[in-house]
A = this chain, B = another copy of it.
């Protein structure tokens, strides 16, 4: 190495400047430089600050956050862990999270679990390994105690039982009730229920709840047409077809989300029936595509962006203040009436 002329050496291996280089350039110690970039406004005279800033500019110095994290045990990075960014529900949530995190200069690392326990496990380990400052997660299989053991501030996306963490979401029962009541108000007495198949979650209380809402309106379960289908468009289409082959049809169909509703619409259309004249259909979530179907889909709007924003704010508070009280933010959903539902005409 010593055989290389100095110029070549310094040229070929030129590395990014450190505070030491800046310190030299400005004729101060590196502690002073550090104080300047910390920008806490204390401990540096205006003149030296000026000189340091000049040197920083001169050399094109940019602070090494890795080294900083090493020392401070803060990475100013968080992880957003969702099932699948490709699912139309999540991008808006993600954007809400990012817009808040951006303000404070936090980096947001994305992770998709695909509803698989193993993936979830592996990115949680990654979060730990990266010394992430906090996690916003829509948990799929991980239990409360596993999450607790990470010793990382966490905010849950969605309202879940059995978790001692901050959470933000909508009350999906309430949303479903609103949807069903909308159908009931329109005079429907025979209603189809299209449920998505849940990953082996413990006991599933959705159906009993839906039936109870209908029962409250005097609709017996004999007048309900229930199918449980894979949580996607095709699943719903096939499920709906199954309903339509019976000798009696529902006059309205409630679907647990818009994707399922769109599948149902397609099935109804290809059966030669019209929406909403023959059958009304209602979904949940209000994804983008819900507004562009024909007729446009009546649905329960969930404020996705707002959910992301709230989750991010909660997480930041948690990171900064080490709060212990549990917060639970329930953002309200609301019915958006469009063309896919109408009065029942006998």
Chain A residues with CB under 8 Å of chain B are: 16, 62-67, 69-70, 75, 77, 84-86, 88, 90-92, 94-95, 98, 102, 105, 107-112, 119, 125-126, 128-131, 151, 262, 266, 288-289, 292-294
Contacts and interface: CB of A to CB of B under 8 A. Distances in A.
Number of this chain's copies in the assembly equals 2
B292 A262 contact: yes
Contact of A66 (B66, B92, B107): B66
B126 A105 contact: yes
B95 A62 contact: no
A126 B66 CA distance: 11
A129 B94 contact: no
Contact of A129 (B65, B108, B112, B126): B65
Nearest to A97: B110
A80 B266 CA distance: 35
Nearest to A293: B292
A110 B129 contact: no
A64 B131 contact: yes
Contacts of A131: 64-66
Contacts of A67: 70
Contacts of A98: 85, 110-112
Indicate the member of A16, A105, A130 with the most B CB atoms within 10 Å: A130
Nearest to A79: B107
B95 A112 contact: yes
A107 B105 contact: no
Given A85-B85, A91-B91, A128-B62, A109 B109 contact: yes
A292 B289 CA distance: 7
A153 to B, nearest CB: 15
10 contacts: A62-B125, A64-B131, A65-B131, A67-B70, A77-B109, A84-B95, A85-B91, A86-B94, A105-B126, A288-B288
A91 B91 CA distance: 7
Given A66-B66, A66-B75, A289-B292, 7 more contacts: A16-B128, A77-B130, A90-B91, A95-B112, A98-B111, A109-B109, A294-B294
Contacts of A70: 66-67, 70
A67 B292 CA distance: 50
A22 to B, nearest CB: 14
Contacts of A293: 292-294
A90 B92 CA distance: 12
B88 A94 contact: no
Contacts of A86: 91-92, 94-95
Nearest to A112: B98
Contacts of A288: 88, 288-289
Indicate the member of A84, A110, A292 with the most B CB atoms within 10 Å: A292
Contact of A110 (B64, B94, B289): B94
A307 to B, nearest CB: 13
Indicate the member of A66, A67, A111, A131 with the most B CB atoms within 10 Å: A66
Contacts of A107: 109, 126, 130
